[in-house]
Structure 1
Amino acid sequence: MATTQQALNWTVVGQGAIGLLAACRWQQADTPVRLWLRQPKSLSVRFLALDHTEQQCHFQAAVSPIHALFLPVKAYAVTEALAQLQPHLTDNAQIVVSHNGMPDLAALRQFARAKQGIWFLTTSHGALRQTEQIHHTGQGKSMLSPLNEATSAHRKAVFMALNQALGPLTVTENSIAALWQKLAINAAINPLTAVLNCKNGALAAAEHQPQLQQIVSEVCQLASLEQVDLPFTATFAQVQQVITATANNYSSMQQDYYHGRPTELSVITGFIVATAAKHQLAVPANQALWQALQDT
């Protein structure tokens, strides 16, 4: 079908680090992209790429109708954002949601109308927003999961676009396994960097290895009880790879906690603690982080 070959015009919601990283890389690739902000306005940012090149990126405010939506907002903001944006989406719009932690996939599917494709994306790319500057701080990779049948009509176009923005990209139908894998990485890095008030790379120090190993081991045990195969050795190796690749980056939770903003703790460590309680599994390393960081 012709629609599978057509490039999509993308709308990125908000001006967070991952959203602006994707928008800048799309602009570099000449892919049409606009920003949907709380107060409609144009925005200019200086993009610092991994190869140390710099480029000024200028984005116009998004307008209705929206054909392709990238929604990289905090987990607690997804429901409200989708409800507000749904009237502005075309009947066959493609919606890509991305946040840390474990998403409620059933709830996400309910937000898409019959012909609207909905996807969930996880990424390990590192990005840092500083005033009018966005810095790509760590090379990562991304996994994209189609959540309904309406994704099929635009699968090639969505893949090509997200591969440009946050590649290398893998599409997986086994979204649960991919989400547990990312959960283990988030659980190891995000809360600990918030507690220690440090960059990701600081976790590579020998003194933090026992705690990291216990956090990941608990998540792997819990995944097994949830009928998900998450081998400890391979998972812990991935955690180390992400720490190395994003060594100069501050995690989103560290930044949120440091600045007194709401965090995604409830869908990361909170999810682990609650699910473990259901199975009567002790998760002391994750429990300690939950108690240390949970929002008051």
Structure 2
Amino acid sequence: MAQNSPTQPALSWTVVGQGAIGLLAASRFKLAGWPVQLWLRQPAALDIRFEQHPLHFNCATAPLAAVLIPVKSYAVPAAVQALLPALAPDAQLVLSHNGMAATEHILSSLSPAQGLWFLTTTHGALKQGATVRHTGQGQSVLSPLNAAAKNQLLAVQQAMDIALGPVTLTGNILPFLWHKLAINAAINPLTALNNCNNGELAKAQYQPLISQILAEVCQVAEAAGYPLQYAQMLEKVQQVIQNTAANFSSMQQDIAHSRRTEIDAITGYIVTQAARYNIAVPLNTQLLQQVLQLQHRG
């Protein structure tokens, strides 16, 4: 993990919330010697244990120069709205969540000098009480979404490399989001509905379901202009299941803890896009309804 260059001081980063991925990023910042603070709904300092390290995080104070927003997709608008009065005039905001990025409204609420980014990551983390574990080594893709972000390419990429690296920079995040969407659509609803870890999906009984989910997603992605290769995606999903066998998906964890899931931004997005292109996606439609029923029951 690279240290700061003494000739280039780091941006002072704020991480929003106390979810597993956010605390993973904050912990990696702190262990690399970068300034980092937390922005919580109820402002307070926070003490956690990350791996073997006891870590203390201060409560964020304005102005906020650089902000990582790794909250659930449905919580993004409210989080950004709450942050706006505290942002520095040239603040950089990095969104990171499952599902597809809906950023038009957020872009319109920022000033021309404030940068907006999207980061998608395959890192895995688990929070249990005050303990956070890095459960899956991954990588991330980062994309600037406006001109003010492009003016800070090096500084933000360097920071995200520390927090959730290794990072690849791209001018178009959508192909990467469709790729991750397909993987999430195959794994998250099935683990949530069956209350199981990812490795359980390697069993023979789940293979026809995974195949049909991916076949439907690939049809929709093709129509949307972001084609996915079915055979490659099937291989990738099996690889993720194997590599994260002991892990529990975020959707399984949300259902287990009676929290709202991101099903609308994952399977719901697929179903909505399928309707737009007049494509039948019966299994994804069924999974969406089943997860929503389970969520409302909780």
Letter in 2 for 1:178: F
1:204-255: CA deviations, max 9, x gaps? 2232222112111211110110111211122222222322332222111111
CA-CA distance at 1:17 after TM superposition: 0.5
1:32-62: CA deviations, max 9, x gaps? 11101111111111112xxxxx111111111
CA-CA distance at 1:18 after TM superposition: 0.4
Secondary structure at the counterpart of residue 57 of structure 1: strand
Which stretch shifts more, 213-222 or 63-72?
Answer: 213-222
CA-CA distance at 1:5 after TM superposition: 4.2
Alignment match, 2:23? 20
Q: 5+ residue gaps in structure 2?
A: none
Q: 1:205 aligns with which of 203, 206, 214?
A: 203
Alignment match, 2:37? 34
In the alignment, the residues of structure 2 paired with residue 244 and residue 167 of structure 1 have an alpha-carbon distance, to the nearest angstrom, of 22
Identity of aligned residues (%): 52
Alignment match, 2:188? 190
Letter in 2 for 1:122: T
Whether contact under 8 Å (1:125, 1:246) holds in the other structure is: no
Pairing of 1:102-251 with structure 2 (within 5 A): 102-251=100-249
1:145-169: CA deviations, max 9, x gaps? 1100111222111111111111121
Q: 5+ residue gaps in structure 1?
A: 49-53
Alignment match, 2:47? 44
Whether contact under 8 Å (1:224, 1:230) holds in the other structure is: yes
In the alignment, the residues of structure 2 paired with residue 26 and residue 156 of structure 1 have an alpha-carbon distance, to the nearest angstrom, of 16
- Does 2:267 correspond to 1:290? no
CA-CA distance at 1:106 after TM superposition: 1.9
Alignment match, 2:253? 255
Which stretch shifts more, 15-24 or 226-235?
Answer: 226-235
Letter in 2 for 1:270: G
CA-CA distance at 1:127 after TM superposition: 0.6
1:242-290: CA deviations, max 9, x gaps? 2233222211111111221111111111111111112121112211211
Change (3 A) 1:103 1:245: same
1:172-202: CA deviations, max 9, x gaps? 1121111111111111111111001011122
Whether contact under 8 Å (1:124, 1:242) holds in the other structure is: no
Which stretch shifts more, 37-46 or 199-208?
Answer: 199-208
Alignment match, 1:51? none
In the alignment, the residues of structure 1 paired with residue 195 and residue 147 of structure 2 have an alpha-carbon distance, to the nearest angstrom, of 43
Alignment match, 1:98? 96
Whether contact under 8 Å (1:75, 1:100) holds in the other structure is: yes
Secondary structure at the counterpart of residue 186 of structure 1: helix
Aligned pairs, number: 289
What is the TM-score when the length of structure 2 is the normalising length? 0.93
Secondary structure at the counterpart of residue 247 of structure 2: coil
Alignment match, 1:80? 78
Letter in 2 for 1:29: A
Displaced runs of 4+ in structure 1, greater than 3 A?
Answer: none
Whether contact under 8 Å (1:276, 1:283) holds in the other structure is: yes
